[in-house]
Amino acid sequence: MTCRDLTQHTLHAAYRRGELTPRTLVAGLLADAAERGADPTWIRRLSADELEPYLAALDGESPDSKPLYGLPFAIKDNIDLAGIPTTAGCPAFAYVPERHAFVVEQLIAAGAIPLGKTNLDQFATGLVGERAPAEYGVPGNAFDPDYIPGGSSSGSAVATAAGQVSFALGTDTAGSGRVPACFNNLFGLKPTVGLLSNRGVVPACRSIDTVSLFALTADDAAAILDVAAVFDADCAESRHHDFAVAGQCYGQAPASFRFGVPRGEQWQTDAAYTHCMETAIGQLRALGGEPVEIDCSPMLAAAQLLYGGPWVAERYHAVRTLIEREPEALHPVTRQVIEGGRALSALDVFDAGYRLVEYKRAADRLLAAVDVMLAPTTVTHPSKAEVTAEPLAINTRLGTWTNFMNLLDYSALAVPVAIGDNGRPGGVTLFGPAFADLSLLSLARALEARLALPLGATGQARPALPALPAASDGTLEIAVCGAHLDGLALNHQLVERGGKRTAITKTAPRYRLFALTADRPPRPALIEDAETGRAIAVELWRLPMASLGSFLAGIPAPLGLGRIELVDGRSVTGFICAAGALQSQGEVIEITTYGGWRGWLASRTGQEAC
């Protein structure tokens, strides 16, 4: 069998050089599959004849016309591929869809080639990858077949890690994308709920399900997300979000940031996964990150609701017809879990809903104090024998840090960070609020470059990362120099709009500062003067772009926002005064010699408060 680098960067380079075509690539992959023979990673692989229409559609196209041109991918078998049975891991449930799932349509239109349908924990219920019926078999972990692959998207993770596809689709309700990504040295993106359409996906918990992505690199995950994250007006759960309009883009991670870290006693990790957390903390520090300890109690409490609350009834609802007509068709453990939703009442739903709202309010407050959160993806990697002995207890442990994400409407990304002495991989999770997906990927890319792990389980070295522009998280850094400074009279205008102070610094040494004292409170006027100016103290505040319009509308003439050079040479947005406008402003005092607004205020001790 051939081990290939199937990343977008490498394949597209080979296609452009004429060294490879999609047809020759697919032919090689089919030959590898024939050599492997029966493979429980897959429930249904497409034949050469079934693949021909997808290959024919690429004739005359190229990586310059289709962003995912010639990238082979796998589809978890609870996601529809037209003309191929969807089983959700249960033969008695199988049906043949007439059209692709919406997300699959987007990927194929962008040039990706579907190779088939992959194995899973039946009805996407489980984090172990061991709950498939005997006729489908159970995949082994891509690094060690005696250990679980992780679930429920087991086959998608193993196929990607083993170099059988460039990327794969999974689903993730409770960790079904992140846990198998962690166990197989992959990037596992759990997008914001609703960002990817669920049309054509068998539901598990419909209100919080999401399609997830398995990729070998952060760049690949970002490219796939860019294609797949299309609003679907025919999917009731689809949410519209345009990253570009929101001022967000994928790229180089920021030079400084604050990252939350759960209190040590909350990790609950074994030695290997404790090492993963410690490695990630050290690497994030090296990238310019400042760790902030966070008490994650509300998040962990919310996690208990997923299987200890009424969301199990959603799983029952999804398979109600089958489980009531033919209960023996379900895997015994899957049936045990899902039948727990039968007796839940409307009172249970409301009670859990009230608690979840409280947990989310508390968790959101904690998240607002940092730019990103770091957490374990999971707490241990059990063997197949251990899961056989304790199928429910171990599954519960694996979901400690995954179960709350969709309930709290967070975006999350599993990031590989280490290959242990035992030869098995481990990782961590970066998470943030809804629609922080690109920020997570940008920071993960920086970690990827530092750690330089092999691609999946292929042993292939990672391709060199191309240069990218700076990432943007949808906020704008603004320099303030007057009453908007922290604790002063107009600072509330920043705080109320979600502003966060990021730095206390100075301008380049070529500005003059004036106080417009006819106003209440007095306002600052910063004017560039290369000949007589000096460095002026300022604060940098990061403000969401969505609230920038109302902030700008409240800035009275002659002040406005423009570009200011800082002492470190950076150019940022900040308050400036229109040239020649001071003469019409009544009482104006030059306060440059005080070095800044606070220095001037200190000189006025005992006078009217500003």
Cα–Cα dist 217/56, whole Å: 28
Helix (H, G, I), strand (E, B) or coil at 485: coil
Pick the more confident residue, 502 or 47. Answer: 47
Tokens standing for residue 107: 């990927």
Res. 608: pLDDT tops 50: no
Question: What are the pLDDT digits (tens) for 7-41?
Answer: 999 999 999 999 999 999 999 999 999 999 999 99
pLDDT at position 60: 95
Mean pLDDT, all residues of the chain: 95
Distance in angstroms (rounded) separating the CA atoms of residues 437 and 190 = 8
61 falls within a domain: yes
292, 258 Cβ separation under 8 angstroms: yes
Instruction: Give the model's pLDDT for residue 585.
Output: 67
Across the beta sheet with 410-419, the strand order is 42-45, 113-118, 72-76, 167-171, 211-215, 187-190, 410-419, 425-433, 372-376, 257-262, 289-294
Q: How confident is the model at residue 609 (pLDDT cuts 50, 70, 90)?
A: very low
Which residue in the list 76, 117, 190, 500 is annotated as catalytic? Answer: 76
Tokens matching residue 59: 């004739």
Per-residue pLDDT at 555: 87
Per-residue confidence (pLDDT) for residue 252, from 0 to 100: 97
- Residue 358 has what pLDDT? 98
The answer to whether residue 3 sits within a structural domain is no
Question: Are 405 and 371 members of one domain?
Answer: yes
DSSP string computed for 119-148: --SGGG--SSS----TTT--PPPSS-TTB-
Whether residues 58 and 195 share a domain: the answer is yes
Q: Is the pLDDT of residue 103 over 90?
A: yes
Q: Is residue 466 part of a domain?
A: no
Q: Which of 153, 156, 176, 439 is catalytic?
A: 176
| Same-domain check for residues 120 and 182 | yes
Q: Do 435 and 559 belong to one domain?
A: no
- Residue 468 located in a structural domain: no
Tell which residue, 336, 335, 346, has the closest CA to residue 310.
Answer: 346
76 counts as catalytic: yes
Q: Is the pLDDT of residue 520 over 50?
A: yes
Confidence of residue 176 (pLDDT cuts 50, 70, 90): very high
Residue holding tokens 């991670």?
A: 253
The three-state secondary structure class of 457 is coil
For residue 279, give the nearest of 107, 104, 417 by alpha carbon: 417
Q: 289-294 and 257-262 as β-strands: parallel, antiparallel, unpaired?
A: parallel
The residue range of the domain holding 381 is 8-240+250-451
Confidence of residue 300 (pLDDT cuts 50, 70, 90): very high
The DSSP annotation for 57-107 comes to TTTT--TTT-TTTT-EEEEETTB-BTTB-B-TT-GGG-B--SS--HHHHHH
Flag whether pLDDT at 238 surpasses 60: yes
- Count of domains in the chain? 2
Check if the beta carbon of residue 149 is closer than 8 Å to that of residue 184.
Answer: yes
Q: What is 205-225 written as a DSSP string?
A: STTT--EEEEESSHHHHHHHH
| Domain CATH for 566 | 3.10.490.10
Contacts of 222 (CB under 8 A, 6+ apart): 250, 438, 441, 445
Question: For residue 383, what are the CA distances in angstroms to 29, 380, 394, 558?
Answer: 29, 10, 10, 69
Residue 370 lies in a domain: yes
pTM listed for this prediction: 0.93
Q: Is residue 356 part of a domain?
A: yes
